[in-house]
Structure 1
Amino acid sequence: MPQLVETENARRPFAVKVAPLSKIEIDVVTAEFFDAFDNRGGKAADVARIRRLILPVA
């Protein structure tokens, strides 16, 4: 579970601390991101997919 922690940076006094991702998890997210831009065969970019990957869950 992410937690809010204080930092020594005056411009950004708080940060969200999360568990580090494994290489496999990073590879999966990277593949998902690039697949969203796949335009082979005239296919349009999947903007909804990009939003799901980038925007935080409310």
Structure 2
Amino acid sequence: MNQFVLVCRLTRDPELHQTQTGKMVTTITLAVRKNIKKENLEQSDTNFIPITAWGIGPI
């Protein structure tokens, strides 16, 4: 199994949905900031990563 760790922020609250067959689906979007160094200048850029998690319901 692959694992990774992202230092990020949620762009909004997670959205919980239920399919017609009763399966729970949660969608979130993560904002991951990355620092870029070009020619001794530091810049930052943000990637937005959409995530869909199946079978995740309220706790």
Q: Same fold (TM over 0.5)?
A: no
Richer in strand (by share):
2
Q: TM-score normalized by structure 2?
A: 0.22
- More RCO (CA 8 Å, sep 6+): 2
TM-score (norm 1): 0.22
